[in-house]
């Protein structure tokens, strides 16, 4: 199976207002042909509203939407040539797997003689060959998710929209399906826009991630760029496992944190309240040369989480850091007892200082 054409998507000033509530606020976003972009944000950030506007299920109060260079702002969903995978899969329980997958072909009045081959190809793509006659009620959650994917792809759409399709799966299956979806996108090359509130899911699967907050686009970037170069405190908190500690700018490469100078390999922002964003995995226990970004605090809670320990570190002045260490016995031995002093180090390359809000 091959997608007939790769299309770009242009969202220009998309706004959606419900009475006094502004669900989407003048948002613009470009998606390249064949790109996988995730819309990431907390509940109420506007990501599902934006997906609804792309799919034609929600009419924008203002703004335009172009797919493949065509203005589709007011085009109904069935004329947009898009595949949609919903959060609850929206499968028909009284139909077989094959009948569910064939439904979009029927709706588009594709000749019935072409259905069997297209259904077989779509099911093979999601590794469900031979399941045509299986009842939906006899399928597991992961299999139903694959059926929903096959149905979305069977008519070779130019754009695929996915609205949190993995949220109902357990953690292990969800992580497996993330890798499978990434590989499937690599085979198909279809332009894909994916809604999720799970930052690890977005980082795993996406070419780029668009971060939304309060109906606005805060930052859109490649996963590693978002993680290592967040635009502001909101993105730093939302991407990765970071603790934010108030910081005071001393010069273009140095801030003061809990009374200690911290040197960064990158320029320090000049405007607004600043925070040191510390990723838990970047802190080292007593691991730096004397005087190089060494932070002394007191050990708080030590929480066992299977493969790792999460350690709270209380700093002078009331701020707190979090440290993540492997849980094997050598790493555990490096952690003092609760209430004991501990010295940490942070490499200048790992020092991230962000403003409270993007200027």
Residues 158 and 99 in one domain: yes
Cα radius of gyration (the chain): 24
In a domain, 2, yes or no: no
Residues 217 and 238 in one domain: no
60: domain CATH number is 3.40.50.300
Residue closest to 244 by CA, chosen among 357, 95, 103: 357
Residues 214 and 260 in one domain: no
- Report d(CA 83, CA 78) in Å as an integer: 10
Confidence (pTM): 0.87
Q: Which of 207, 225, 243 is the last residue of a domain?
A: 225
Residues 96 and 168 in one domain: yes
Q: Which domain holds residue 47?
A: 9-225
Residues 210 and 239 in one domain: no
Q: What is the DSSP string of 82-97?
A: EEEE-TT----TTSBH
Residues 173 and 252 in one domain: no
Q: For the chain, how many structural domains are there in total?
A: 2
Show pLDDT as tens, one digit a residue, over the chain (359 residues).
556 678 999 999 999 999 999 999 999 999 999 999 999 999 999 999 999 999 999 999 999 999 999 999 999 998 888 988 887 778 888 899 999 999 999 888 889 999 999 999 889 888 899 999 999 988 888 888 889 888 988 888 889 999 988 887 788 888 888 888 888 888 888 899 999 988 999 999 999 999 999 999 999 999 999 999 999 999 998 887 889 999 999 999 999 999 899 999 999 998 889 999 999 888 888 754 455 789 899 999 989 888 888 999 999 988 899 988 888 877 677 788 899 999 999 999 999 999 998 76
In a domain, 255, yes or no: yes
Residues 202 and 268 in one domain: no
Q: Which of 173, 200, 225 is the last residue of a domain?
A: 225
Assess contact for 220 and 211: CB atoms under 8 A. yes
Torsion angle defined by CA atoms of residues 220, 225, 229 and 233, in that order, rounded to the nearest 10 degrees: 40
Residues 195 and 294 in one domain: no
Residues 146 and 246 in one domain: no
Residues 322 and 348 in one domain: yes
Residues 213 and 289 in one domain: no
Q: Which of 196, 225, 254 is the last residue of a domain?
A: 225
Residues 78 and 187 in one domain: yes
Question: What pLDDT shows up at residue 184?
Answer: 83
DSSP reduced 3-state for 244: strand
Residue closest to 349 by CA, chosen among 182, 229, 169: 229
In a domain, 53, yes or no: yes
DSSP reduced 3-state for 158: coil
309: domain CATH number is 2.40.50.100
- Report d(CA 163, CA 137) in Å as an integer: 22
């Amino acid at each position: 199976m091959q997608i007939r054409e790769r299309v770009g998507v242009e969202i220009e000033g998309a706004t959606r207002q419900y009475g006094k509530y502004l669900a989407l606020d003048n948002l613009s976003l470009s998606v390249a042909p064949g790109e996988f972009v995730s819309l990431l944000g907390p509940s109420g950030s506007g990501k599902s509203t934006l997906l609804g506007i792309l799919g034609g299920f929600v009419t924008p109060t203002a703004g335009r939407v172009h797919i493949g260079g065509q203005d589709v702002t007011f085009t109904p969903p069935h004329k947009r040539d898009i595949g949609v995978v919903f959060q609850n899969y929206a499968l028909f329980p009284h139909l077989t797997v094959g009948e569910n997958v064939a439904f979009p072909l029927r709706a588009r009045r594709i000749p019935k003689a072409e259905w069997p081959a297209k259904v077989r190809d779509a099911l093979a793509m999601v590794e469900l060959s031979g399941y045509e006659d299986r009842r939906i009620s006899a399928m597991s959650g992961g299999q139903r998710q694959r059926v929903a994917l096959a149905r979305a792809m069977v008519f070779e759409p130019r754009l695929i929209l996915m609205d949190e399709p993995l949220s109902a799966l357990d953690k292990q299956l969800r992580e497996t399906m993330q890798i499978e979806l990434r590989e499937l996108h690599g085979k198909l090359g279809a332009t894909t826009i994916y809604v999720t509130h799970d930052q690890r899911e977005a980082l795993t699967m996406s070419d780029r991630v668009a971060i939304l907050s309060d109906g606005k686009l805060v930052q859109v970037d490649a996963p590693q760029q978002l993680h290592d170069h967040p635009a502001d405190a909101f993105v730093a908190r939302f991407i990765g496992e970071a603790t934010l500690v108030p910081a005071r700018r001393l010069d273009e490469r140095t801030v003061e944190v809990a009374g200690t100078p911290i040197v960064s390999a990158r320029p320090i922002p000049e405007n607004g309240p600043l925070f040191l964003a510390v990723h838990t995995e970047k802190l080292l226990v007593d691991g730096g040369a004397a005087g190089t970004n060494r932070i002394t605090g007191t050990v708080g809670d030590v929480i066992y989480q299977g493969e790792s320990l999460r350690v709270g570190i209380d700093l002078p002045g009331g701020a707190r850091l979090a440290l993540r260490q492997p849980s094997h016995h050598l790493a555990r031995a490096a952690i003092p007892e609760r209430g004991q002093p501990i010295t940490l180090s942070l490499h200048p390359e790992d020092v991230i200082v962000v403003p409270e809000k993007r200027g």
